[in-house]
Amino acid sequence: MLDASAAELERPITPDAILCAVPTSDMALDIRDREAAATIARLEARLAEQAMALAHSAKIFERASALARIGVWECSLPDETLTWTGGVYDLFDIPRGTPIDRAQTLKSYSEESRLILDALRSQAIAERSGFQFDAEIITATGRRRWMRLTATVECEGDVPVRIFGMKQDITDEKILGDRMRYLAEFDVMTGLPNRSVFQTRLAAFDAGGGGTLLLVDLDGFKQINDTFGHALGDDCLKDASARLRTVCAEADLVARIGGDEFAVVLSASVDARACETLAETIVAALKWPVERGGRRLVLGASVGIARADACSASELFTRADTALYAAKAAGRNTFRTFVAPAQPAASGGSWQSDRDGLRRGTGPQTFHRIEPAPRLGSE
């Protein structure tokens, strides 16, 4: 019969027996290590997923920024160290990764934009706020661009530590906006301000301040337009507009307000004699023939003058229009100044007309010649 020791040796070894043979403290430590390793593996996997997602988001942001022509910038305070994303480098036509210096970058801004930027930036830092404005720059390759700059000041406690934001290329938007404004405010054919701009300026007379309005009407234009067509008529309008702009260079406004009618607004500092002298100059300048297509097209101009003496804007226009009709009734190629009742007549051909009489055809008629251009060497 085996003794107890021998019986123990003959007993089969089971997993439970192995666990019982391992000290409890070592077993617990091993379990904790395996759990920690599993946790670390899960966290690493999650970090890897987040890194991939972040890289994907960064890629999308980079593509979207490129499409929108947007870049992110940061400037640390107070050492003025700049950090740019690729979009800002592209905006300034500077190779990506090139070391950048704020003082050098500021030289890319136009003088006006640089002054605005300095003022807004100083105010934002002082007030711990932000700003936005459109700036004009000249890039490193000499291209002129417009960019929309946004900025926000970040503080630690109450101390500004950095200023950051976005810069977006808005050159195309700026060009389109300027074009739309131009079309809204200027006559495309002549390049002069249009009737809308004139009406705005005329309305300002209601606020007082004085001034003078001259209405200029081309004599003989309809005959040229009807005889030789709109192409030559348009050339005559362009030529007349250029001459008018030249002789009225000191005027507040020179505008085309109708087919062959123009308006000139003078400030209150221009006296009556100077206004009439200018009217004489306009008539003389527009008498010169326009030579096109081997033809000499003879135009002329009638001018009506009215001073803004205690009258409304609409009344001022009516007075200038009345004077214009009087100039036409006087034989055209001349000017007349409206003189209100109970006022002494201004010198140099002042007139107050009966417009209804002109409409009835009682005024004199005039005809304008269309002569061939002289040959070279002829008188």
Instruction: Encode pLDDT of 49-63 as tens digits.
Output: 787 777 656 666 566
Residue 262 structure tokens: 């123009």
- Give the pLDDT of residue 379: 30
Which residue do the tokens 């938007």 mark? 173
The C-alpha atoms of residue 279 and residue 330 are separated, in whole angstroms, by 15
Length of the chain counted residue by residue: 379
- Give the pLDDT of residue 378: 30
Are 116 and 148 in contact by the 8 Å Cβ rule? The answer is: no
Calculate what percentage of the chain has a pLDDT beyond 90.
57
- Give the pLDDT of residue 345: 45
What is the domain partition of the chain in residue ranges? 68-175, 191-372
Nearest to 220 by CA among 136, 303, 287: 287
- Give the pLDDT of residue 225: 79
User: Could you read off the pLDDT of 118-176 as tens digits, one per residue?
Assistant: 999 999 999 999 999 999 999 999 999 999 999 999 999 889 999 999 999 999 999 99
Q: Is the pTM of this model over 0.75?
A: no
| Pick from 4-13, 117-126, 257-266: least confident | 4-13
What's the average model confidence in pLDDT over 71-86? 92
Beta-strand runs (E) in the chain: 70-76, 82-84, 130-138, 144-156, 159-169, 212-219, 253-256, 261-266, 290-292, 295-297, 300-307, 335-337, 370-372
More confident residue, 10 or 304: 304
Positions marked active-site:
260
Are 196 and 262 in contact by the 8 Å Cβ rule? The answer is: no
SS3 category, 255: strand
C-alpha dihedral, 235 to 241 to 243 to 247, nearest 10°: 180
The pairing of strands 370-372 and 295-297 is antiparallel
User: Could you read off the pLDDT of 310-364 as tens digits, one per residue?
Assistant: 889 999 999 999 999 999 999 889 999 998 775 544 444 444 443 333 322 333 3
Whole-number average pLDDT of the chain? 82
- Give the pLDDT of residue 61: 56
Residue 33 structure tokens: 């290590």
273 backbone dihedrals φ, ψ, rounded to 5°:
-65, -40
- Give the pLDDT of residue 69: 63
Q: How confident is the model at residue 367 (pLDDT cuts 50, 70, 90)?
A: very low
More confident residue, 205 or 17: 205
- Give the pLDDT of residue 48: 81
Which residue do the tokens 């004199």 mark? 364
Nearest to 173 by CA among 68, 244, 18, 300: 68
191-372 folds as: Alpha-Beta Plaits (3.30.70)
Q: How confident is the model at residue 30 (pLDDT cuts 50, 70, 90)?
A: confident
| Pick from 26-30, 193-197, 334-338: least confident | 26-30
How many C-beta atoms surround the C-beta of residue 283 within 10 A? 21
- Give the pLDDT of residue 29: 67
- Give the pLDDT of residue 51: 79
The DSSP secondary structure of 99-115, one letter per residue, reads: ---HHHHHTTB-HHHHH
The C-alpha atoms of residue 95 and residue 180 are separated, in whole angstroms, by 34
Name the most confidently modeled range: 68-82, 100-114, 213-227, 288-302: 100-114
In this predicted structure, the answer to whether residue 47 has a pLDDT above a threshold of 90 is no
The CA-atom distances, in angstroms, between 168 and each of 4, 88, 99 are 91, 8, 20
- Give the pLDDT of residue 369: 25
68-175 folds as: Beta-Lactamase (3.30.450)
Calculate what percentage of the chain has a pLDDT beyond 70.
78
| Pick from 101-110, 159-168, 217-226, 255-264: least confident | 217-226
